[in-house]
Amino acid sequence: MKLYFSGAEFQVLSNVLLEASCARQAEKDAAGDAKSQAALQRRLRITEELVAKILAKDLRLDFDELDELVDVLKAKKQKSRAEIAQTEDPALKADLQEKQAMLERMLEKVNETCTMF
């Protein structure tokens, strides 16, 4: 199965991955022991490679990249749920729900690709 994202999905995905890359860097910097830093460095490298590929609209991803993409999308989906629950503004809530629906569709596409890998 070929992985495909619309233009809007590419935009959301690049933003989500850039956010995740910054978070991974902060986690790595805060890690105390060398073993944790090495594991976090590996995840950071994979996330940065994903950012580069997504910005280039290159969806030739290996299994580690797909796995990392699933983790990033799941984390963003959970964060989005929390934001929706805390938001009282109906217009903002509708916008957040639309973005969450897009995240769910993207996660479904990546999961389907993982099963075919």
Query: Is residue 32 pLDDT above 90, yes or no?
Result: no
Question: How would residue 30 be classed by pLDDT, with cut points 50, 70 and 90?
Answer: confident
Rounded distance between C-alpha atoms, residue 75 and residue 54, angstroms? 18
Residue type, 91: A
Question: How would residue 1 be classed by pLDDT, with cut points 50, 70 and 90?
Answer: low
Q: Which distant-in-sequence residues (6+ apart) come within 8 Å of 106 by Cβ? A: 5, 9, 12, 13, 73
Does 1.20.1260 match the CATH number of domain 7-116?
A: yes
Question: Nearest 5°: phi and psi at 33?
Answer: -95, 160
* pTM: predicted TM-score of the whole model, two decimal places: 0.88
pLDDT tens digits along 5-21: 999 999 999 999 999 99
pLDDT tens digits along 45-87: 999 999 999 999 999 999 999 999 999 999 999 999 999 999 9
